[in-house]
Structure 1
């Protein structure tokens, strides 16, 4: 699908973090980085009326558009809000979501936004997820929904649901990657100083708080690694760069990324390789060298395991053929 028009539907109280994620990924002008422009619309029942956030007094969000602006959107984001019985969500909002889905829009719920989709009857018989703390509540409210309590997000084609809070970033970047390609998703992730894709599921975070991203966060290190994938890295060399002991680094890395340094690095190299397959004509051996694998054989092994296809088959199946140049057409005449 194209991704030229994105609407965010807000229901009071507005969860500020999840709404901010949607703005950060879809609402900022990143055309200077080569990211396609997006017509970004913030929509609510009563445009121009401040919506409470349930947070500190005086903090509110005001939508510039009414729900009529949702019509024709390529993507409709249902931001997180307070959980309530299905019958207490605004009927007008539910009807707009049903109409958007019927018209072919992709719907993306962030955290508790899944309850709004459920209230609209859009999760029945579908795989989905939500914040781990609310999985049982979602199951009771919508027993026909196929809830995966482990997933950071679930992509069921026209409907994508995310787990709690930071998983909203994972789901939004996944949607960008799915529709606009790896290169665009990676550019946005780098600007946000987050990994383009995390490994693992939300079960890692059950009953275990996610550490706050303070000045000693690993984000700068992860961003540096993404810019130096071709170089050899080990957990020990990364720990030294972070000025930590191996044990402390391993614990911090797992807390922030949900996986081990080796697993994360392998996955980022696969993502980079997929981007080069999509965006360039480089051969597999050249791509392997650029992303830090020892050989094309190693790249093929990891790529097949992660993506399900060898690199050449992936390029043939998912990448549109490059138009022939004038010189090539003349030679073939």
Structure 2
């Protein structure tokens, strides 16, 4: 992780929490990630001078990284140092994965990694980003963008969403869900969800989707439809759609499908080899639909997913097979 002058401490903490801490609760052999910080000087002052980071390696440490994390900083109109940009370019050129958190995408754009590619950044900086980097295909209204070897997250909290997405991509849905439980964070928010939702103070009693989501997550294997969700919430499908858009930034059908795919992934990781059983228990219906949905969400066929992610060392029984951790309404 490159920590540049003026870096926001929060994003540094997110990367450290996600990838740098031991995970004894996972019951797997050895560390799944090892994190090294590096800086362009002997001492780097963090944002607002909260503290100075010293005693860490120089930028040459990035030359050994499999993944490079670039956190954000608030002074995005000030160009990054040539040494920082060179380190980012070198790391990417030799095939390493590069990830930005929040406005770290400005550094990736300055380094030329985002030319002609999709990316996101904090919504407050979207107009400035477009002005400075018109060659980037900016998507300002999503949580994160995964372009394979280059990934960008929006605002600070979206760094957690992208970090858990990386866990899922590297180690499967089951371990990512275990990490999310440790963080007391939403187990899965799709990158396409909106990063910021303007919402006035409600003038009616609580309309939180939390109880409805919990109810639906207990019944993913049943033939639930959007109409069933609306009936459970005692509202019309149109009203339910507006509430999902307002509170979650997605549609009821997209949310339901995403939850079913996540459950199918966990079932495969836990050793279920019969695709018709996985499809039925996850609510995806048929093996053909399971194959199509899994490939769309993960880029892998069920057999490829099984070879990559499971079964693995046994984990404690997961409550996420019944009731995943819900995002705050």
State the TM bucket, normalised to the shorter chain.
Answer: 0.7 to 0.9
Q: What is the distance in 2 between the residues matched to 1:267 and 1:191?
A: 21
The answer to whether structure 1 residue 304 and structure 2 residue 292 are counterparts is yes
- Could you tell me the TM-score, scaled by structure 1's length? 0.72
Aligned to 1:243: none
Instruction: Give 1:133 shift.
Output: 2.2
Q: What is the distance in 2 between the residues matched to 1:268 and 1:144?
A: 35
Deviations 1:71-105 (A, max 9, x none): 2111111001123336x312221111111111221
Q: What is the distance in 2 between the residues matched to 1:199 and 1:322?
A: 20
Instruction: Give 1:33 shift.
Output: 1.2
Q: What is the distance in 2 between the residues matched to 1:153 and 1:321?
A: 24
Secondary structure in 2 matching 1:161: strand
Query: Is the 8 Å Cα contact of residues 101 and 154 (structure 2) preserved in structure 1?
Result: yes
Deviations 1:20-63 (A, max 9, x none): 2212211221143146432111222235x362323xxx733625
- Could you tell me the TM-score, scaled by structure 2's length? 0.73
Deviations 1:104-125 (A, max 9, x none): 2100001100001112222222
Aligned to 1:314: 301
Structure of greater relative contact order (alpha carbons < 8 Å, 6+ residues apart): 2
The answer to whether structure 1 residue 46 and structure 2 residue 35 are counterparts is no
What is the count of residue pairs matched by the alignment? 299
Alignment RMSD (CA, Å): 4.1
> In the superposition, relative to structure 1, how do residues 225 and 90 fare at CA in structure 2: closer, same or farther (>3 Å)?
farther
Deviations 1:267-320 (A, max 9, x none): 1221120232345243123324544x2x743x75466357439x9x82234443
Q: 2:77 aligns with which of 85, 106, 115?
A: 85
Q: 1:21 aligns with which of 5, 14, 35?
A: 14
Q: 1:11 aligns with which of 4, 10, 19?
A: 4
- Unmatched runs of 5 consecutive residues or more in structure 1: 1-7, 212-216, 241-246, 324-333
Q: 2:127 aligns with which of 118, 130, 136?
A: 136
Aligned to 2:118: 127
- Unmatched runs of 5 consecutive residues or more in structure 2: 203-207, 311-329
The answer to whether structure 1 residue 280 and structure 2 residue 271 are counterparts is yes
Aligned to 1:32: 25
